[in-house]
Structure 1
Amino acid sequence: MFREAAEAADVVARQFAANRDVLAALAADLRRRPPPFVATCARGSSDHAATYAKALFETQLGVVTASVSPSVGSVYGVQQQLRDALFIAVSQSGKSPDLLRNAEAAREAGARVVALVNVVDSPLAALADVVVPLHAGPERSVAATKSYLASLSAILQLAALWRGDAALLDALDRLPDAMRVAWDCDWSPACAGLVRAHNLFVLGRGLGLGAAQEAALKFKETCGLHAEAYSSAEVKHGPMALVGPGFPVLILAQPDETEAGTLALADEFRARGAQVWLASREDEADPGSGPGQALPVADAPHPACAPLLLVQSFYRMVNALSLARGHDPDRPPHLNKVTETV
């Protein structure tokens, strides 16, 4: 896991170069024939990438984006109204029967089917109108790392080309180096503070919500640590009743319009005595003001790049935490690398 996560910056740089033509052609087609909406279909870490796609397409392109439950097509067998929609299936292996059935149904319904997949000769790739290779290379650890970040970067490159935004396109060139900086960010205080934890919240918002979801999953599968992901807005609707003295909270602040509210929430939780680890460019909290502390972050070349940097820093920390808690991050119990659900 450590080695594969460390490769992510090189994977992203390679992917941007290799996929530019196929994504530029797709983007040009989407501008000529704008879809009424975007539907995503994925599970696990890939579905967290779909969460990022929703926030990115809606904030950068103004295109409504929704997640399609794979079970609707594969178990319930209900045909969805997807004519002219952009249907994006995200999968590392491209083999899960439920995703295959939904991609096939989407194509039959008249959607443009795009597959973001690491295995380019997979059944999912064969079903797609456009295949976007992740170029992550072999990933042997059960916990997906570089393939998850490659899914985000493919979504980001598509959005940048679709919109034709100069600032976002320039940020792509600088993202791999920023990811290398993120890998070197020291989050060891969070590792030390969570060695004996039993549960925690992971909070993000907007473009950063998918990163929080991914972090919560990795806590569970690699560390045996019960973690729940929430939007920093949604956590106020009930879950925050649990946050009191000593309760652990990891907050991934997104450097955009959501940031001020997220920082205010961190202050509120600190005032209650919660253990707050806040990853933010703006955090100036006194480490002595309460348990937990600030975590350094790499400068994002564009706010849309920030989730990739936060996750990259997180992966190094959670790998260390897994080992510190006596787990094997490469072989979590009861899990397989490829999960084929129906």
Structure 2
Amino acid sequence: MNDTALEISSQPEVWAVGLGRADEARAALGAPGERMLVLGCGTSWFVAQAIAELREAAGLGETDAVCASEYVPRRRYDRVVAVTRSGTSTEVLEALRQVPDGAHRVAITAVAGEPVDDLVDTRLLLDFADERSVVQTRFPTTVLAMARAAFGEDLKHLIADGRAALAAPLPADPSEIDHLVFLGTGWTIGLAHEAALKVREAAQAWSESYPARDYRHGPVAVAGPRSLVWSFGAVPASLDDAALDAGARPYRDGRDPLAQLVLAQRFAVALAAHRGLDPDRPRLLTRSVVLT
């Protein structure tokens, strides 16, 4: 079994550790009423999107998510949180250097002693969720599990749902799928983007992601018999009809959205195997983007 698959399978146990440290996440993610920005690149940007939606939906304060490479200090924030597994990504470090004085800077990272430590006031270290793989799986899902618990969600079901997702059959035979579409709503839009990225990274396959209701506004036109349209969370059932009308296969299940993402990660690895690819060695990718 490759490292990516091993890390995918470890997620329920890693989540349990993270949920036991929810108080640390609550302190790092700020007091109710603070105006907060969450930064990240790639997977971490999608995590930032989900965190921002979850925090605002919980009534804890205005929260924005910005891709670190696009950050421009135009707005005032009480707290700026950078999600960075390695603590070395150049765009994240550059964004933190631009944060105006007065904002409390936080890093959520998996590795201690990296350059990001010198740029923040608080560090939430998830070294127990670190990964050998280039392709991120358990680190981002653990960040989201901890954030959800910190924001007051009851996640008693999460570990069992994660284990069920590891045992569940895949929603389709990878040999029959050339095109994947992931749909989400609210905070699960970030999960949809992340699932699509896993397919591109691990399997070099055609994948897309959208806010669910936007799917009918153009993207459905390219769906066909070898398309799998995968819904995360409370996506309207009418979107399944839109996929069926296009000749595609809709898929959804009732497990927690993070558990649904585990199944999508498994599918990406299975699709990579079908294509003769090693997900531990994704094309053109490295664990951290460090620019000279």
TM-score by length of 2: 0.90
Pick one of 161, 166, 189 that aligns with 1:183.
Answer: 166
How big is the shift at 1:83?
Answer: 4.1
Which one of 215, 229, 232 corresponds to residue 250 of structure 1?
A: 229
Q: Which runs of 5+ in 2 are unaligned?
A: none
Q: Deviations over 1:299-322 (max 9, x none)?
A: xxxxxxx22111111112221111
- Per the alignment, residue 328 of structure 1 pairs with 278
Residue 70 of structure 1 is matched in structure 2 by 68
Aligned AA for 1:182? A
Could you tell me which amino acid in structure 1 is paired with residue 83 of structure 2? V
Which of 79, 90, 96 aligns to 1:97? It is 90
Q: Name the structure 1 match of 2:145.
A: 153
Q: Secondary structure at the match of 1:89?
A: strand
Look up the SS of the partner of 2:207 in the other structure. Answer: strand
Q: Distance in 2 between matches of 1:96 and 1:50?
A: 15
What secondary structure is seen at the aligned counterpart in 2 of 1:114?
strand
Secondary structure, counterpart of 1:189 in structure 2? coil
What is the CA distance between 1:124 and its match in structure 2? 1.5
Aligned-partner residue type, residue 276 of structure 1: R
Instruction: Mark the CA change 1:25 to 1:206 in structure 2 (over 3 Å): closer, same or farther.
Output: closer
- Seen in structure 2, the aligned counterparts of structure 1 residues 265 and 159 have a Cα distance that, compared at 3 Å, is same
For residue 142 of structure 1, report the CA deviation from its aligned partner. Answer: 1.5
CA contact (8 A) 1:52 1:210 kept: yes
The match for 1:268 is 242
Q: Which amino acid aligns with 2:140?
A: Y
Q: Which residue of 2 aligns with 1:56?
A: 54
CA distance in 1, matches of 2:63, 2:77: 14
Scaled by the length of structure 1, the TM-score of the pair is: 0.77
1:15 paired with 2:9, answer no
Write the letter of the residue equivalent to 1:236: R
Q: Which runs of 5+ in 1 are unaligned?
A: 161-167, 282-297, 299-305
Q: Which whole-Å deviations, capped at 9, do the CAs of 1:238-297 have from their partners, x for residues lacking one?
A: 222323x42513222414xxx3x2x11111221332x2231223xxxxxxxxxxxxxxxx
Question: For 2:69 and 2:14, how far apart are their aligned partners in 1?
Answer: 32
Q: Which has the higher helix share?
A: 1
Distance 1:138 1:181 in 2: 23
Alpha-carbon deviation of 1:44?
0.8
Q: CA RMSD in A?
A: 2.2
2:106 corresponds to: 114
3-state SS of 2:127 partner: coil
Shift of residue 62 of structure 1? 5.6
Q: Percent identity?
A: 26
Measured after TM superposition, the shift of residue 158 of structure 1 is 2.5
Cα deviation for residue 215 of structure 1 reads 1.2
* 2:225 partner amino acid: G
Distance of 1:218 and 1:313 partners within structure 2: 11
Length, aligned pairs only: 289
AA of the residue aligned to 1:254? G
1:81 and 1:109 in contact (8 A); partners too? no
Distance in 2 between the 1:221 and 1:254 partners?
23
* SS of residue paired to 1:211: helix
- SS at 1:228's partner residue? strand
Does residue 337 of the first structure (1) align with residue 272 of the second (2)? no
Aligned ranges 1:197-236 → 2 under 5 Å: 197=178, 199-236=179-216
